[in-house]
Amino acid sequence: MAKLAVLLLALSHATFLDALPTREKKREPNAIDPREITISSNLDVTTSYSSAPVSSLQSATATVEPSVTGSIVTGLPSQGFTRDPLISATVSEPAGSLAPIQSTLAPGTMIEPGPVSQNIFVPIATAAPPQQITSRDDHPVKLDNIVDRDVPIETNKFYANFFLGGQTDPVWTHPYSLAWAKGRGNTYGMAVTHIERSQLAWDTENTPPRYFIGPIGLQHIVFSAAELGSDSTLAVETPTGFSAFANLAPSSGAAPIISLPVVQGMGFATALYNKAKPQINSGTFFRTLKYVGQLNGITFKYQITLEDSSNWLLYATPVASLGAPPFDLLNSQTIEGPEDFIGMIQVAKVPANSSGEQVYDSTAGAYAVNATISGSVDGGSGSYTIAWGKDGVQNQTLAMFALPHHVESFDDTTKAALTDVQLVTTTKGYAQLVVADRITMVEGDLPDTIGFAPWAPATNGGTGGSENSNLNSDALAAVNSAGALELNEDFDAQTRLNSMYYSGKALAKFAGIIYTVQTMAKNTELAAAGLVKLKDAFNVFVNNTQPLPLVYDSVWKGVVSSGTYQNGDTGLDFGNTLYNDHHFHYGYFVWAAAVIGYLDPTWLDQGTNKAWVNTLVRDYANPVSTDPYFPFQRSFDWFHGHSWAKGLFSSGDGKDQESTSEDTFATYALKMWGKISGDANMEARGNLQLAVQARSVRNYFLLSSDNKVQPEQFIPNKVTGILFENKVDHTTYFGGNTEFIEGIHMIPLNPSSAYTRPKSFVQEEWDTYFSNGRVDQVAGGWKGILYANLALIDPSTAYNYFANPNFDMSQLDGGASLTWYIAFTAALSGGGAKTSAKVNVAEAKVEPASVQEGADDEYYYVDDSEYSDVEGRNSDEEYGDEYEDASDDGEWQWEEGKKMRS
């Protein structure tokens, strides 16, 4: 009999990729879990459908009301992770200052570690974790509902709901969501849903509204089969960084009869059928089904109108048969296809007033099965490419949706592939369809000039920026005084805790103090004394002798806290054992290690220091899929441009993230560890990833008044709070205070903060919530955080707050130091000069005479905060020599009796 050589549907995915280089998967089939469908293009033709359907237009009348509202859950997941990120334990005041030692430090050179690979996604290491991290094979969450065994499994990716909990919570590919019906709506298939903004549920008690939520439980189109029933099972196979296969089988142990490639941004929802009788269901109800005709020689097109008046397209590509497969509209809830169907069925929603139908027609029959990522960096610019693996009709180009931050940074080739087809996502604005097998995004302002010192972006609207570690005499005195006192605190009591998060914050705090004392205050003997204590405290974790040691989980494959193993509390340490927040927790350790390695380069080669730190990096930011011990990029999502904090917990609203600032800090830590440890590719990835995060955060989380992505009525909140895949809630897991909600996107204030938090946004947020003395109504460590954040727009006021001789140390977060805050604010204000009057710089440049009226015609200083001291003080007499020195470093210029940044 004739063979079908036209269509290639080989779905064995032996080379599914997460990141370059090519992954060589080693799969061991489970005895009971079904594997994905494999359809050969060489099957005999067993069926010949006589002709096109007898009636090209079929109609149905609904006898009951369709479901068009779904269900709304306004509360947060009740999983017990509500602890305040600020360390609550009181820091005991030290008995005096730390005495310097007769030793000096010789920091590293801070130069480019070496050449960067053409593709920066290369392995960090391949060895097993250090031996002191023992292995366990009894993780509290069993590896159920997953075909793959003994390979690293993604824990924080978008499809995790398919294998967690009851397996019925939705999965968002954006703009579509998919959910296993499992009997809801009298079907056991996979429901495909798309939510319009008009369907969102809004908080009606507050202005601006506290939240908006997409309804769940809606079933627009459901891929099912007559063979599926109450014994049906769902299994996940080939889970990667961008994709997975969802397999539906009639019973446990049976071969799957429907397999769905689930890929982020997929333009079609595609179901592969293997000798099953298709049933296409809808909880929104079918109004009409119309057969249109044949496309591309093998695919057959149908149009569907639902009772909510939305229009969908259905494309059927049969294998082992000839002619148009018949689909009958049995009733308003069911379309039935032919017996023993082999092939694929695809559906897509057509947005109004677009070329959607033509675009879908031209791409039908092809579908994405996975994705790879590659990237390149050259100094201050870089790019990354997401390329999709393709199956189906190979001469068709893929239709894929891109998110707003992608479109904003497309290269010229990808821009040319954009269409006018847009579908709104739940929490990421409007996704736009691209007809391309790959997309490339360009970042032209990488943070390669950011190091350990306070940093500010260029003030002339250009790219880049500069560090400043110069302090005037007053600031130097304040830094040395605070540093000596804080370095005499009990390091062990603050770092040897039963929490990786709190311990990491404290280690980073002390590392920041020592760096500041050494590099900015030039007090090397005091810094050397502090470094001895820091190494001892850090060594506790390298030796794995902290109260809750780390273990290597050989089930999911990662490094986790042993806490939950001991008492069964899955919420311990914010859910670390179940892979929550690893980038938050481990980023602090990585950054502290970078500082130690900078201050004492010999430390890097001692014992397992470097291997231990790289183990943490591989756990949360492994750049390849070939590592046998860790999955690809556990936390960071290269499609969304930010990380997801939620690990092995099912969630009705999908993955979520709360603290964008700790997310970006974890990437900044990667960049600095790469620089210090000599891994040029890691440093380059960190720079590129931080640029992508800054763009993503600006589009989705930090809401300036000109934001066009999130709904207009939500913008006055200024930050999203917690962003889920299906809802945005202007709150936190640990409370609803304004300083919590805004401040969780600020901590920790560090050199990269000015890069990821635009000055215009910081000003709007301050004016909305904290100006006119309102900041002083805030208590505790959050007040210190808010004032440190103020340094991004008004460093002089922030400096005066922290440099006050009567500063209240209770206003510091246990993970922050007065030493760093004084140096940070002083450096951003040009060295620490106090101001007694302020005037806008823009005005000063236009009318210099007006701002110097009554002055002594001496120089005055214009700093990055866009304010200047207008008193006619002599810079030498009042401020010391620091201003004179600043004029010699090429970053300043004299102009008309003024000293301004060039």
**Alpha helices for 499-648 (secondary structure H):** 500-515, 524-542, 563-567, 582-599, 609-621
Residue 49's pLDDT is 81
Residue 302's pLDDT is 96
Q: HSE of 680 in the Cβ direction (CA atoms, 13 Å)?
A: 13
Residue 27's pLDDT is 34
More confident residue, 296 or 557: 557
- pLDDT class for 96, splitting at 50, 70, 90? confident
Residue-wise DSSP of 7-55: -B-----TT--SSSS---------SSSPPPP---TT-B--EE--SS-S-
The per-residue pLDDT for range 321-349, each reduced to its tens digit, is: 888 999 999 999 999 999 999 999 999 99
Question: Contact 173/158 with Cβ under 8 angstroms?
Answer: yes
Whole-angstrom distance, CA of residue 883 vs CA of residue 875 = 7
Of 546, 547, 548, 510, residue with least CA distance to 530: 510
The per-residue pLDDT for range 711-748, each reduced to its tens digit, is: 999 999 999 999 999 999 999 999 999 999 999 999 99
Question: Contact 221/276 with Cβ under 8 angstroms?
Answer: no
Residue 45's pLDDT is 73
Q: For this structure, is 581 an active site residue?
A: yes
Q: For this structure, is 536 an active site residue?
A: no
pLDDT of 144 above 50: yes
Whole-angstrom distance, CA of residue 776 vs CA of residue 774 = 5
Show the tokens assigned to 94: 């030290």
Of 448, 474, 600, 662, which one is the catalytic site residue? 662
pLDDT of 300 above 70: yes
Contacts of 81 (CB under 8 A, 6+ apart): 571, 574, 575, 580, 733
pTM summary value: 0.88
The partner residues of 312 in beta bridges, in order of sequence, read 304, 349
Question: Contact 787/817 with Cβ under 8 angstroms?
Answer: no
Q: Is 543 helix (H, G, I), strand (E, B) or coil?
A: coil
Whole-angstrom distance, CA of residue 731 vs CA of residue 745 = 12
More confident residue, 291 or 842: 291
Q: Helices 582-599 and 524-542 sit at what angle, rounded to 10 degrees?
A: 140
Which bin fits 201, alpha (ψ -120 to 50), beta or left (φ > 0)? beta
The per-residue pLDDT for range 541-560, each reduced to its tens digit, is: 999 999 999 999 999 999 99
Q: For this structure, is 662 an active site residue?
A: yes
pLDDT of 3 above 60: no
Question: How far from each other are the two terminal CA atoms of the chain, in whole angstroms?
Answer: 79
Whole-angstrom distance, CA of residue 335 vs CA of residue 326 = 10
Of 658, 742, 866, 882, which one is the catalytic site residue? 658
Of 581, 679, 725, 863, which one is the catalytic site residue? 581
